């Protein structure tokens, strides 16, 4: 069981297509002859000589020194994710927020200025709007669909721009190539949260974005069983972010890293089905009399459909739609679902749906929700890999008019 027992014929090259690299990109990192990667359940690793110990301790991102610094299973997952995003390397974290906060905190210092979007994943907004200012990092929040507003927000001390596309609640897009061009000309780093699209549908790094972050809890894991995150970037940036990672300690367990690797093996199969199912459902919902409006980048009615076609090759699992009939209609719909599961999250094999306004139902009236910009009749759905006819049948019965006429 030599440490250098590479899989014969392994050639981790750029020529492999996504379907292939998902299965084989990490084979050259095999530590023994098992066909499936072993789980290295060890917090610490032995050195055979004092020289080796010194080398292990002083090599950044060493995969076999101490598991907060790296682990052989992490290394394999990182190889696959980096190849998928087209970046030099990747760094695994214990969650998507672990990836985002470690990246941002690893790159800014007091006195820096950062720019983020008006809409982001909620905890990302909190990082930019509340946490960074507490440590002397100023942030400006811009409407990501307005490039002039973005350009005007740039200051001499602007260090990074954070974007996320598509983004909740109405699947608004950010023009990645345009943001990258704007930032690169001024030496500003760009970070894109690519969770909602997945690299099979969108490749921010190919469009000029420096750092791509993921909640691997979503499509990568794909089974709604683990939380995990990833940062994809150059070796140079990864080393910087890793040194913050060692301090913050958002470390994925070897078991969850292994489950993530197992999830990644089928990512392209799942994405194909998810893209097809979600587009079909979005089109079908658009024609349904109980539905007011559907938001999905793949629909011709999406206000940025042209941009979607330019920067995405598929449109992902998430569909948002509003129902006729206000808050009650939302409550009725999620209660009536029989196949789709009433739960948050996205990108897994099972279809999930939530009535987002219900989260505020205990604390706000319907009128208060509307004035706070929360649509009381809004449904967010993550379409899974079930048969499309079964999904349509479930939605159809849940959308049927209430026999009591409420």
Residues taking part in catalysis: 68, 121, 193, 218
Please state, in angstroms and rounded to a whole number, the distance separating the CA atoms of residues 209 and 242.
Answer: 19
The alpha carbons of the chain give a radius of gyration, in whole angstroms, of 22
Instruction: For the CB of residue 167, give the shortest distance to ligand PLP in the complex, in Å.
Output: 7
Instruction: For the CB of residue 405, give the shortest distance to ligand PLP in the complex, in Å.
Output: 37
The three-class DSSP label of residue 158 is strand
Contact 277, 383 (CB under 8 A): yes
Instruction: Identify residues 19-78 at the interface with ligand PLP (CB under 6 A).
Output: none
Nearer to ligand PLP, 230 or 291 (CB): 230
Applying CB under 6 A, which of residues 165, 190, 202, 227 lies at the interface with ligand PLP?
A: 227
The three-class DSSP label of residue 26 is coil
**The residue to which tokens 């950044």 are assigned:** 60
| DSSP, residue by residue, 239-252 | HHHHHHHHHH--PP
User: According to the binding rule CB under 6 A, does residue 95 interact with ligand PLP?
Assistant: yes
User: According to the binding rule CB under 6 A, does residue 196 interact with ligand PLP?
Assistant: yes
Nearer to ligand PLP, 196 or 296 (CB): 196
Instruction: For the CB of residue 152, give the shortest distance to ligand PLP in the complex, in Å.
Output: 26
Segment interacting with ligand PLP (CB under 6 A) among 61-69, 150-158, 189-197, 200-208: 189-197
User: According to the binding rule CB under 6 A, does residue 175 interact with ligand PLP?
Assistant: no
Please state, in angstroms and rounded to a whole number, the distance separating the CA atoms of residues 91 and 150.
Answer: 29
Instruction: For the CB of residue 250, give the shortest distance to ligand PLP in the complex, in Å.
Output: 9
* Strand 229-233, strand 89-93: pairing: antiparallel
For residue 250, the tally of other CB atoms under 10 A from its CB is 21
Segment interacting with ligand PLP (CB under 6 A) among 47-55, 91-99, 128-136, 371-379: 91-99
Contact 95, 250 (CB under 8 A): yes
User: According to the binding rule CB under 6 A, does residue 256 interact with ligand PLP?
Assistant: no
Applying CB under 6 A, which of residues 72, 204, 229, 316 lies at the interface with ligand PLP?
A: 229
Q: Two tokens at 296?
A: 């999905």
Applying CB under 6 A, which of residues 25, 89, 117, 215 lies at the interface with ligand PLP?
A: 215
- Give Cα 406 to chain centroid, integer Å: 38
Nearer to ligand PLP, 172 or 215 (CB): 215
Nearer to ligand PLP, 27 or 116 (CB): 116
From residue 323, how far is each of 171, 299, 326, 370 by CA, in Å? 17, 17, 7, 14
Query: What's the full length of the chain, in residues?
Result: 406
**The residue to which tokens 């072993």 are assigned:** 38
List, as own/partner pairs, every contact residues 40-49 make where C-beta atoms lie below 8 angstroms and the sequence separation is at least 24, other chains included.
Answer: 40/64, 40/71, 40/72, 40/73, 40/254, 41/254, 41/255, 42/67, 42/71, 42/254, 43/67
Instruction: For the CB of residue 191, give the shortest distance to ligand PLP in the complex, in Å.
Output: 11
Segment interacting with ligand PLP (CB under 6 A) among 26-34, 41-49, 151-159, 211-219: 211-219
Applying CB under 6 A, which of residues 65, 69, 121, 327 lies at the interface with ligand PLP?
A: 121
Query: Over 34-57, what HEC string results?
Result: CCCCCCCCCCECCCCCHHHHHHHH
Please state, in angstroms and rounded to a whole number, the distance separating the CA atoms of residues 90 and 63.
Answer: 13
Instruction: For the CB of residue 22, give the shortest distance to ligand PLP in the complex, in Å.
Output: 20
Contact 165, 119 (CB under 8 A): no
Instruction: For the CB of residue 374, give the shortest distance to ligand PLP in the complex, in Å.
Output: 18
Segment interacting with ligand PLP (CB under 6 A) among 94-102, 183-191, 319-327, 349-357: 94-102
User: According to the binding rule CB under 6 A, does residue 202 interact with ligand PLP?
Assistant: no
**Could you list the residues that contact ligand PLP (CB under 6 A)?**
95-97, 121, 164, 193, 195-196, 215, 217-218, 227, 229
């Amino acid at each position: 069981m030599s440490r250098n027992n590479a899989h014969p014929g392994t050639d981790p090259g750029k020529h492999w297509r996504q379907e292939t690299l998902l299965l084989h990109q990490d084979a050259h990192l095999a530590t023994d002859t098992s066909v499936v990667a072993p789980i290295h359940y060890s917090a610490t690793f032995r050195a055979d000589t004092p020289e080796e110990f010194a080398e292990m301790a002083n090599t950044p991102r060493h995969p076999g020194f101490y598991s907060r610094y790296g682990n052989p299973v992490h290394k394999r997952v990182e190889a696959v994710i980096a190849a998928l995003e087209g970046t030099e390397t990747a760094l695994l974290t214990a969650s998507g927020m672990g990836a985002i906060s470690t990246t941002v905190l690893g790159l800014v210092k007091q006195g820096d200025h950062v720019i983020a979007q008006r809409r982001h994943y909620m905890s990302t907004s909190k990082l930019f709007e509340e946490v960074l200012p507490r440590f002397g990092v100023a942030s400006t929040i811009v409407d990501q669909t307005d490039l002039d507003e973005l350009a005007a927000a740039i200051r001499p001390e602007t260090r990074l721009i954070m974007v996320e596309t598509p983004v909740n609640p109405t699947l608004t897009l950010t023009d990645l190539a345009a943001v990258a061009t704007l930032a690169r000309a001024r030496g500003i780093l760009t970070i894109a949260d690519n969770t909602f699209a997945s690299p099979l549908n969108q490749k921010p790094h190919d469009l000029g974005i420096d750092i791509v972050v993921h909640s691997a809890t979503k499509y990568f894991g794909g089974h709604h069983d683990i939380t995990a995150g990833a940062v994809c970037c150059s070796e140079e940036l990864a080393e910087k972010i890793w040194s913050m990672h060692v301090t913050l300690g958002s470390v994925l367990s070897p078991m969850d890293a292994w489950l993530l690797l197992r999830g990644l093996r089928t990512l392209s199969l799942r994405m194909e089905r998810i893209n097809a199912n979600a587009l079909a459902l979005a089109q079908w919902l658009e024609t349904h009399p109980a539905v007011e409006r559907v938001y999905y980048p793949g629909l011709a009615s999406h206000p940025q459909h042209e941009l979607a076609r330019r920067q995405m090759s598929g449109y992902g699992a998430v569909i948002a739609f509003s129902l006729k009939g206000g808050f009650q209609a939302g409550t009725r719909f999620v209660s009536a679902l029989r196949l789709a599961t009433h739960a948050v999250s996205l990108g897994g094999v099972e279809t999930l749906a939530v009535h987002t306004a219900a989260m505020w139902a205990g604390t706000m009236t319907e009128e208060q929700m509307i004035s706070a910009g929360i649509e009381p009749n809004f449904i967010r759905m993550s379409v899974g890999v079930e048969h499309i006819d079964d999904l349509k049948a479930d939605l159809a019965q849940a959308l049927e008019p209430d026999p009591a006429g409420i």
